[in-house]
Chain A
């Protein structure tokens, strides 16, 4: 059983650019959540996807968008990057969907630096 993987590990972009981060869910998991973790803070929920549909969103602007694919892998896209977008981006997968509370398994994260 493979765990949650994320790519790339590190990324450097400049302000105004666009970025795509990728996540492969743990085998059999159909739900994926994305979190942003600024330095010294706890992770903040961005959004969640269940069976390719967005199922809940945190307090993030529309320039943060996502996709979930039929194989349950997922992408996080961020447009018009700002300096404050520099953070560790975490993907978490779980089995279930709305109204289920199975534990979430996190990937190692992608460290994004915006210059």
Chain B
């Protein structure tokens, strides 16, 4: 089972920041938080990941709370092409497999 909880859907106006929350209250000390997104009819796309510090790349920013029990993915200037399902994933730290455990994600709709 997924170790994360996300709202099923969110809306955002084009050009505004989209803030997608994720709860991972049972995260272990050496587990990373990963974000992927899946645009309709495509495979998931990696966005960003982090351990405890905030991270930023050309796609998004990831803010992780100090207690690491929740995080927020920020798309600073959402466009219509950002409409997708966003998955927050806690990466298993044991077992030696790189498997990703997906939940149902958040369906983000960016409106014009």
Contact = CB atoms under 8 A, between A and B. Distances in A.
Majority secondary structure of chain B interface residues (helix, strand, loop or mixed): loop
Nearest to B34: A103
Chain B interface size band reads 20 to 34
Interface in B26-80: 32, 34, 41-46, 49
A108 B46 contact: no
Interface in A3-47: 4, 31, 33, 35, 40-45
A41 B102 CA distance: 9
B100 interface: yes
Interface string A38-82: 001111110010000001101000000000000000000000000
Please classify the interface of chain A as helix (H, G, I), strand (E, B), loop, or mixed, using the class held by over half of its residues: loop
Contacts of A103: 34, 46, 49
B98 A90 contact: no
B80 to A, nearest CB: 20
B72 to A, nearest CB: 19
Nearest to A56: B97
Interface in A85-102: 90, 92, 94, 96, 98-102
Given A33-B99, A56-B96, A104 B104 contact: no
Contacts of A40: 104
A102 B98 CA distance: 8
Interface of B: 2, 32, 34, 41-46, 49, 85, 87, 91, 95-105
